[in-house]
Amino acid sequence: MANKDPLMITDKDEMRKWSRSMRAQGKTIGLVPTMGYLHEGHLSLIQESHKQTHLTVVSIYVNPGQFSPTEDLSTYPSDLLGDIQKLKSVPGGVDVVFNPKNLYDYGNNDNGCGVGLDQEGGKVVSCVETGGMGHETWVRVERLEKDLCGKSRPVFFRGVATIVTKLFNIVEPDVAVFGKKDYQQWRIIKRMVRDLDFGIKVIGTELARDDDGLAKSSRNARLSPDDRQKALSISKSLFKAKFAAENGQNDCQELRNAVIQAIHEAGGKIDYAEIVDQESLEKLGEINRPAVFCVAAWFGNVRLIDNIEINVQCASSF
């Protein structure tokens, strides 16, 4: 049976008012930030929030601040009505859907949707940089944001850390739940919360996959059936790498070569395939501590990411 309709809030002041009134009644609040087009991966985050808090807020907001003007902001899939149906189907439902129109509109006729500065300065900018009275405050997690996805998407994590900060300040949650599907993002948010003393507990949940192994992603909807099949090379080669590592292959170059070759042979274009320390995200030469193998690759015009944690008993840990 479907659960009750969630309360729909689009205004940030109304959102904050709701949270404060609930907290005044002794309720704890969990926040699950999303960009919508929800799938079971997102729903597993909500179930985790239910375990942690009395109430759950799901934000649905495609954040222009984390896209550069050349990226896929305009084709990012959305289906608000479908999302609400899915949220009603989660055991326990959700209490609020926070679906703001534009979190960069400060009411000064500069609604933060221009793409001006890159033409002038030649520097990489996000889709909200317009100069004038526009948004200009950014949160950066300087070292963790640099490599992996940060290399080919230089404004991405700055935009993510900033929008998550804004959502934290608007919703004022006790707990925030993120997926380890976006491993680097999860680490960055945890570090930001530690470094800036947000009073919020950050939880990371396990990556949810389709039955055949493909990491669930809103962007999968844009894969052709043929590319979807080819994209299975990512998860298959990652599973093999984990198996090899757990059976004694600790040379990261060898492990990386096998994954790169498998994805390449399937017709994918590698953005990166790196084995890094689980916490610092520093590249490893050999697997001698808890590691995570992170991959980003293009199939057609869709960029997919995936990762797998590798926890082997290492001689140095005895």
Q: Name the residues that contact ligand AMP, by CB under 6 A.
A: 34-35, 41-42, 44-45, 178-179, 181-182, 205, 207-208, 215-218
**Cβ-contact 263, 288 below 8 angstroms:** no
Q: Which residue is nearest to ligand AMP (CB)?
A: 179
Nearer to ligand AMP, 39 or 54 (CB): 39
Using alpha carbons, select from 128, 48, 62 the residue that is nearest to residue 91. Answer: 48
Q: Which CB, 155 or 252, lies closer to ligand AMP?
A: 155
Q: Provide the H-helix boundaries in 138-182.
A: 149-152, 156-171
* Residue 134 or 159 having the CB closest to ligand AMP: 159
Task: Count Cβ atoms below 10 Å from residue 117 Cβ, excluding itself.
Answer: 17
Question: What's the CA gap between 207 and 295, in Å, rounded?
Answer: 14
Contact 117, 125 (CB under 8 A): yes
Looking at the Cβ atoms of 84 and 287, the one nearer to ligand AMP is 84
Residue closer to ligand AMP (CB basis): 34 or 237? 34
Q: Is 42 a catalytic residue?
A: yes
Radius of gyration of the chain (CA): 20
309 Cβ contact list (under 8 Å, min separation 6): 180, 278, 290, 291, 292
Q: Residues 42, 50, 54, 264: which is the catalytic one?
A: 42
CB of 208 to ligand AMP, least distance (A): 4
Minimum distance, C-beta of residue 58 to ligand AMP, in the bound complex (Å): 9
Task: Please give the Cα distance from 1 to 315 (Å, whole number).
Answer: 52
| Nearest distance, CB of residue 221 and ligand AMP, angstroms | 12
Q: How far is the CB of 241 from ligand AMP (least distance, A)?
A: 19
The helix (H) or strand (E) run that includes residue 27 is none
What is the smallest separation between the CB atom of 220 and ligand AMP, expressed in angstroms?
9
Cite the active site residues.
42
